[in-house]
Amino acid sequence: MFRSLRRALCAVAAALVLPLAGVGVQPADAAAEAAGAGYWHTSGRQILDAAGQPVRIAGINWFGFETGNYVPHGLWSRDYKSMIDQMRSLGYNTIRLPYSDDIFKSSTVPTSIDFSSGKNADLQGLNSLQVMDKLVAYAGQDGLKVILDRHRPDSGGQSALWYTSAVPESTWIANLKALAARYKGQDTVVGIDLHNEPHDPACWGCGDTATDWRLAAQRAGNAVLSVSPDLLIFVEGVQTFNGVSGWWGGNLMGVAQYPVQLSVANRVVYSAHDYATSVAQQPWFSDPSFPGNMPGVWDKYWGYIFKQNIAPVWVGEFGTTLASTTDQKWLAALVSYLRPTSTYGADSFSWTFWSWNPNSGDTGGILKDDWQTVDTVKDGYLASVKAPLFPGTGTGGGGGGGGGGGSTAACSASYTVSSDWGSGFNAEVKVTNTGTTAIGSWKVTWTWSGSQQVTNMWNASYTQTGSTVTAANAAHNGALAAGSSAAFGFGGTPGGGSVPTVSCTAS
């Protein structure tokens, strides 16, 4: 909601309780067979791929193009490919990339990219749009889709309306069309989020062309589709409808009476934003029935669109520091409301979590302040709503499917202790497809020499008998193209043990 706060460069790493038991374990999804290929369209409440298979967006926001850096944040610390690979290994299948219209100016120069030790070598000398090209291409190789988010008119800050005196509607639409043309034929980019978080005085259905966001979304959406008719058009809500207010961009109550109508059918996906008390207080948080009241709140503002089969709903932003019990209950309730993939598959709400970046001041991120370590508690809350990756377009750090050859499936695994505090430890295991053909699943086994026990595991399921542990892939990370990798992590007790020998089997 308060965009200036979420862009503050002072990350707060705070996670006080573990997620619900078992949330890190995902049963295999036998029905998922490389869904997601090609461009997408809608049918009722579902998003379908080019072959008509339902898909679920289960992704992450990586911000920075919309700020004065004019590129995603963290490139001052890491290579962009390593970060996209890490997103993939954690099971995020889509990246939402916020940008501002500043990136279209010839005078805009990207800043804060580290080129030392070979990092980001292929970004040297590029402008912002060319950097975006590189990120899109590599994400596609890794089996991730991209949603471009027109976040701000300029890097100075968020705007209530889709235009300002400095950036008129004509510029907004011209730049949307330019992006549609730039990525036409590259189905890694599946759609565009037209404008981030419209809020008062933006209205929905009031009929005033200067403030009616629904009418503006139709004008912009039709302009995009005139250039690239295969794209999805993501339309956020407003703040207030008929006197009822909520989060910026989170109020889609007007859709029931005033749906967005575009020139190409089956292209609209409605997008809501929802946040916890670390962003701002809302009356429902202090309701005596909280968190039991939350499904009704979400139904009223945006959930009804999905439940009544009007259109797909994508929660484009939601996040929290998890610093308070209220926030912890809110996130657990929201994840449950979004519907677990193991039960509902892609017949579910889509989502992109806010954010990958740790430097979002009132939410923090999936990464901690070092831009490397995963906040495993926060990531663990999301495990049940993650979904399979999509077919990759080449040989990046991943691939998500495909592959040829007839050789025997093979994999290797490496075990790394990331932290050890004596009474306990965290470790990560990286699994690599060492064969010449794609694999569909993997298992890793090791035997500790001491009395260690797994206490929780994410991005894999496990069994432990005595000192022997067997970990199997989750639904979203079993398919690995030749040469690509996935990772899972776990906590254990006690610490101080030696690193065991690990073996890997693939099929």
Residue that wins the pLDDT comparison between 438 and 329: 329
pLDDT at 32 over 50: no
CB 245 within 8 A of CB 251: yes
> What b/e string do you get for 400-437 counting C-beta neighbours within 10 Å, with b at 16 or more?
bbbbeeeeebbbbbeeeeeeeeeebbbbbbbbbbbbeb
**Confidence at residue 392, expressed as pLDDT on a 0 to 100 scale:** 84
pLDDT at 7 over 90: no
Residue 220 DSSP class: H
Tokens of 102: 């500043």
Tokens of 389: 């990756």
Query: pTM to 2 decimals?
Result: 0.77
Share of the chain above pLDDT 90, in %: 73
CB 367 within 8 A of CB 84: no
Segment 84-100, tens digit of pLDDT: 999 998 999 999 999 99
Segment 357-388, tens digit of pLDDT: 999 999 999 999 999 999 999 999 999 999 99
Residue 428 bears catalytic tag: no
Length of the chain: 507
Please list the alpha-helical segments (H only) found in 198-291. Answer: 213-227
**Confidence at residue 34, expressed as pLDDT on a 0 to 100 scale:** 74
Name the β-bridge partners of 462. 471
> One of 66, 197, 236, 428 is an active-site residue; which one?
197
Spatial separation of the C-alpha atoms in residues 153 and 161, rounded to whole Å: 9
Rounded to an integer, the average pLDDT of 133-146 is: 95
Task: Map tokens 């979400």 to a residue.
Answer: 298
Rounded to an integer, the average pLDDT of 98-109 is: 96
Residue 197 bears catalytic tag: yes
CB 279 within 8 A of CB 5: yes
**Confidence at residue 358, expressed as pLDDT on a 0 to 100 scale:** 97
Segment 162-203, tens digit of pLDDT: 999 999 999 999 999 999 999 999 999 999 999 999 999 999
> One of 66, 236, 317, 428 is an active-site residue; which one?
317
Segment 274-305, tens digit of pLDDT: 999 999 999 999 999 999 999 999 999 999 99
**Confidence at residue 394, expressed as pLDDT on a 0 to 100 scale:** 59
Could you report how far apart the first and last alpha carbons of the chain are, in Å? 46
Beta carbons within 10 angstroms of residue 321's beta carbon: 24
